[in-house]
Structures are given as C-alpha cells and as structure tokens.
Structure 1
Amino acid sequence: MVPSDSICTRHEARARIERTFNDAVLDILKPFDIVDLRAVVLIGDDVLPPALVLICDGLGQIDLGWIEKSNVLRETVFANVAPLGWRAAAYKELVSTLNIALPVSHYDDLFDAVSMYHWEGEVTDEGARAALVEWFCQDGDEVDEEMLPSAMNARRPDWMLAANAAPLKDMPPALANRIRALRKAHAALKAHDFDNGAWQLDLELLWKYVPDYRDRPSEPPLTLVPFDQFARELDEINRPGMEQGFLDVAGFCQLDDADKVGAWFASLKLGVKFLLAAQDLLNFDPAGL
C-alpha cells in the first residue's frame, strides 16, 4: 500500500508541480538582475490549452550606466568617461537587439508616438507646424519651436546617434568582445524556433486568455530613451500605461503539445543567455582598462 502521508489531493499535486516549475524558472532567471522577470502559468479551459507567460515587472528607463556618462563629468569623481564612439556603439547594439526579449521602447518609438499625438503623423517642422495650426487652433506665429520635430531630435545626446558609433576594431578587446557576444547570443535566440519559444508574443492569442490586456495601451513598461532629456514626452506618452497598465508581457507560449515544455525551457535559457550578454555590456567599466 502507498503510505497515507504520500497521498495528496489534485490541488496539492498541482501546487507542488507549480512550485517545482517556479523554482526551475527562477533558477534560470536569477543571474539577470537589470529588471525582474517572472513566469505565470495560464490554465486554459475546454477550448484553450495551458500557456506560459513571461511578465516583466520593471518600469521606466533601463539604467545605461557608463553609456550615459557625459564628458562634463571628467572633472568630477566620475573621471573615467568612455569615448563617444564606444558609448554610441554600445547603445546602438542595445537598441537593435534588446526588444527580442524585453518589452522595451527606443527613441524611434517615442518620436512616432509624439508625431501621432501632436503632429498628426507629420515628421517635418513644416508639416508639424501646419498640423498644430489646423488641428489645435494655434496661430502659426505662436507655435512653440521646442515642440517641433527638429527641436526634439536635437535633444538627443551624441551617444544616441548611430552615426557616432565606433567600429569594433577601434575598441579595446574587453568592449569589442562584449558586443560580439551580444550579437552572437541575439542571433542564437532568433534562430532557435523563435515562433514556438518563450519569447514570442501573439497578442490576439494572449487576449483570449487574459481579456483585460485588450484594453491596455500598447506601450511597453521599459525604455532606452534617457529620461533627463525627454521627461515631458515620456510622461505624456506613458500616462495611459501608468493609469491602465503597460503591455508588460515579454513572451507568451501556448502549450498545445507536451513537448513544448522542454522547448520552452530551452528557449528561456537562450533568452537569458542573451540578456546576460546585454547585462555584461551595460556593466562594462572603462576604469578597468
């Protein structure tokens, strides 16, 4: 006979399985500490199979550390400011890769949102001025020049401009190798059956499981846009998210096949490997050269 203390109810068995699953996920996610990620199991119903969701609990600007340090700090305690080309190259790499695994926006997203909100989709000063006059009843002579596209673009720090990025051959090996590692990890994650992995996101499918997400704004909770230079725009565009909730899902995977659990964990590990490469780049210390 089976000992009575080894017998558990269906509810207890499910709780044990969920604890084991959560422990395994947390063990994989633990080394990545830039933002908090967690996995949630969606039970499904008679029509929908179970699903796994990765949720991002972070909010605001990702700390860019050494990339954001300005040359004006050279005379302060932060004496080790990396050359502009290095910082621009690192930032460019993060912008082009990070959203494969995190719900994060960058400058082009913010500019497009401001354009739709204020300028009816216009991207030139002339078009934006005409939109402000026509739709907001502003006098052409009273349009705030600081609200025009050229003024917004001009506020970008030099390290945000891809044109300022240095080639890898002009970097110290410690930095160049970090960028190479990030590119390699990004390519590996992208190539690993991405459509059926931990980091995909099918909104239509997500809404069937969690209808409340249908009413949320499309803005992600994280951004690579520096708050110091774009506080007004970030506050304005993200206000609906602050009030109604952000699209904080990093990945959604429907478990319509038992074999998908193993594939999901393999994909999760690859994604974390990529995120750790990004974390390593952000933790680069010019003072250590």
Structure 2
Amino acid sequence: MRLILRLLLLLCLLFCGGVSFASAEETSEKERISELEEEVRRLQLEAANYEYLKEETESYRQSVEEEMSSYREFVQAERESFLDTINLLLYVGGSVIVFIGILITYFLGRSAIDMKQTMDSHKNTLYKQLGQAKKQTNREFRELLQQEMNHAQERIEALTHLVDKEMAYKKARVLVTGSTEDIERMKSVELSEIQKRGLTNIEVVSYSYDKMKQYIQNDLIDILILRYRPIDGVDPRMGELVEMLSQQQCSIPLLIYTYPFGMMSQHEYEQANSYQWSMIATLPTSLAGNLFVTAHAFHR
C-alpha cells in the first residue's frame, strides 16, 4: 500500500514539473520572438536612415562638384584676364621704352638737320602713301560704281524688254468685217470693251471681197475678224475668206465670231478648219480671250 502511494506521488510530481517546464519554454519563445521583431524594426529604421543619408551624401557630392566646377571656371577666367592685363602692360611698357629710346636717339645722337631731313623724308613717304591709297580708293570706287551701273543697265534693259513684250500686243493691226449693221453693233459693245483693255489698233470695215483681198495682199493686217451671220444656214463670206487666205498662203489668224447664232453647221465647221490659222468664238468672252492671246502671238 505504501509503495502504491509513493508511486502516485512520484507521478504527480512528474506531471506538475512537465507542465511548469512547458509553460516556461512557451514564455521564453514569446520573449525571443518579441526581441527578434524589435530587432527587425530597428534594422529597418537604420536602413531607412542609411538610404536617406546616402541620398543626402550624393546630393551634397553633386553640389560640391558643381561649386568646384564653377570655381575652376572662375579661376580660369580670372587667370586669362590677368594674363591679358600683363600682356597689355608689357606691350604698352615696351612701346613706351621704344619711344623713349627713339627720342633719346633723335635728340642726343643726331643733329637738328638730320632730324629735319628724317622728318621730311617721313612726311614725303606719308604723302606718297596717302596719294597711292587715294588713287587705289578712287579706282576701286570707279570699278564698283561701273559694276553697279552695268547691273542697273541690265535690269533696266530686262524690264524694258518685258514691258515692250507685254505692251507690243497693242500694236497688232486688227480688221473687223461683216455686215454694216453687225459691225456697228460690235463697235458699241464688244469692241468698246476690248479697246478699254488696251487693244486699240482696230479698224472696222463693211465686208467687200475686193477690199478684203486688197488688205490681205498688201499685208495691211495682223488679225482678221469676221462677224458671222448665216443666211439660209450658211455665211458665204466665211468660205470666201478661207479660200482667199489659203490661196495667199499667209498666216493671218481668222477669228470667226458666231455670237448670238451659236455653232455653225458641220459643213461650215469643216470648211473653217481647212484653214489652219482659223478660230471660232461663240461668246463675247471667248472673242476677247482669243483676240488678246492672238494679238500677243501675231503682232509685228
């Protein structure tokens, strides 16, 4: 019985000791974990401080480099300025020494006559150089002036040629023919507007075969305008003019003005085209346009 009681007591002691030991170990692990977490936070804070110090150090290093670069540039500029000043002083001092030496030589080593001769010689040399410089300047000025005058003359000639070319169409000799009634109406309307625009050398003549032949044979016209008016569908005057111009083998433009009758018949159209210098104008605008273009090309 006593043995049983001892065994039970021993088991109780062992059980209580194990519970106490486990509880102690659990408490120790929690403390170590807490310490590790505190160490991690401390290390993180030190890392952040290190990054901040690293950035500040880099910024300071760049600032120092920029200041050093500016200082080196400033020192270099001051050094160059100082050297320039020294060179200038040396040049001025040398010039003064040379000048003083020349004065001493003139006043102590040479007589007044020698000095006068020397001054006269220098004066003559100076006058000679000035004369040569003046001649050279005058020659260069005349050459430059001549070049400018030549250029101006070329521009004037080009402009004159251009103006003459543009205005030469006014010299074109234009003969307008047709029935008396039609050409009188043209004088007050179409020809009046054309003359306002510069083409004024226009002669108006009632149609006559003999007159037209005389104008053509004697080369009295540059452009011939026929005021077309069909009778029974045709205008026999057009055929006569086409045949007359073709026989003379001339290059007088024939401008056939059909307004307000519109296009001519196919037969007359082919007859008109048989003369290579013929044109057909069906409207007042086409009459004026064809006439001005032809006047620029066929004036004499």
When the two structures are superposed, what TM-score results if normalisation uses the length of structure 1?
0.22
**Greater Rg, structure 1 or structure 2?**
2
Which one has a larger percent helix, Structure 1 or Structure 2? 2
TM-score normalised by the chain length of structure 2: 0.21
The structure showing larger relative contact order (alpha-carbon pairs under 8 Å, at least 6 residues apart) is 1
